[in-house]
Amino acid sequence: MTTAQEVKTLTHFIGGQLVEGKSGRFGSVYNPTTGDVIAKVPLATVEETREAIEQAHASFPTWRDTSVAKRAEIVLKFRNLITENMEELLQIICLESGKTLEDAKGEITRGLESVDLAIGAPHLMKGEYSVNVGGQINAYSAKYPLGVVAAISPFNFPIMVPLAQTSMAIAVGNAVVLKASERVPMTALYVSELWKKAGLPDGIWTVVNGDKDAVNELLENPTVQAISFVGSTPVAKYIYETGSKYGKRVTALGGGKNNMIVMPDADLEHVANAFIGAAYGAASQRCMAISTIMPVGKDTADRLVAILKEKITNLKVGPYTNPDSDFGPVISQQSKEAILAAIDRGESEGASIICDGRELDIVKESKGFYVGPTLLDHVKPGMEIYEQEVFGPARNVVRVDSLEEAIELINKHELGNGVTIFTNDGLAARKFTTEIDVGMVGVNVPIPIPVGYHNFAGFKGSRFGEGHMFGPDQARFFTKTKTISERWMAGNASTASTFAFPSNND
């Protein structure tokens, strides 16, 4: 295992082998808990990326022609290897992302749901068949893999998101090129070793480390047939527009300003516990984290804020090596500075600081990238901290007078990733789920992330394109459907010319 003193030079994974970078350009990989550089990651050139795509393309036909049952068997072996190597994976994820062990374990578990769904790819690839649609013609549809597809993944889930983006793509017969986040590349390289041990043919799984040069080549290269992206909304929009311009299928998932509505009849103690986990877990670096809580009515808000203040004050921020830590650092010094600046602006715009994460000793004294849990009350639409996604533990209270007001505010926002309501009123819940314009909706559920066999995606500026990250829609996204009509003529059948379409009169 890499230590804080050792700075390891990482590689790409191309053609089934670890391959040294040729560009001479490197990015720094940090241990967020200490601020130390632990590795150098090569940043691929356009030429290196192109070579990786070509190797994947050359390997594709053999994998395409492998039976779906054999492909599923290799995915199952891969799944077993993940569980067998869980402890080492946990250490790598925690080291390069700063997650707590509990959070990292939860991430792996959720990632395995995508692998489990991919094991069932033979079922999801089944086509349709119709007998004698006209003139003794049978018609059927069949699904085929696209070829080379690419995934561009974020730093906040080093294994869950890459598994969600790629497992089904591989299972249905594609060759995958993953551009992992340059901030957390070690997990992807370790996963590469597991795919190889599982028996995946060389070239079907590729990891190209890089920055915009590598990304643009994936977007523009005509061999790449589809792009799956998860990241910020501005970049998601760029990925979608550029990939679509070059004729690719694109699913680009962006950010979210996820809201939790609290009705007056809700159990506020239960709500507070749910909010704290959903809001501050993983240092709030989740696209599905609850960023804004909307209590309905002044009495509800006053009582809820008092409960939250006590609970948030008792949260423990620290390194993943401390089992008592509730959450760890954010990913980088730049992220830390941006979050602290967002809190400053919120306060200057008139929000009240209920819990101030800027004042913790670990925030001021540690070289790690720590930000303490912060809660701002009396936040209003128009304030920057309400309008913009803050990817860190600065959360908001927006007070509303009615459910209708809450729904209207949420529907007006440009992002529509996730939302949830806490209530014991079935009619209020039904009104909420019917009228809310958000992709993933919860009722008395703190984070409305669907399980791996249901589709995952937001609305509005949270998603560009029509695909999903989880669920059966992935099998459709990574395949193309051929519809085939065939007739087998008897020896004495008429061969006279006809100019009519086949019909049920034939």
Question: Which residue's structure tokens are 């599905």?
Answer: 288
Q: Which residue has the tokens 């669920």?
A: 471
Closest among 340, 329, 230, 222 to 282, alpha carbons compared: 329
Q: In angstroms, what CA-CA distances link 98 with 104, 205, 227, 281, 301?
A: 9, 26, 28, 12, 33
The torsion of the CA quartet 11, 13, 17, 23, rounded to 10 degrees, works out to -50
**Is residue 3 packed enough to be buried (19+ CB in 10 Å), middle (13-18) or exposed (0-12)?**
exposed
| 94 noted as active-site residue | no
Are 404 and 421 spatial neighbours (Cβ–Cβ below 8 Å)? no
Strand partners of residue 395: 375
Which of 287, 289, 375, 409 is flagged as catalytic? Answer: 287
* Cβ pair 60, 146 in contact under 8 A: no
Nearest to 475 by CA among 125, 111, 70, 140: 125
Could you identify the residue written with the tokens 């249901």? 454
Residue 158's nearest CA partner among 134, 178, 136, 186 is 186
d(CA 5, CA 20) in angstroms, rounded, equals 22
Active site residue ranges = 287
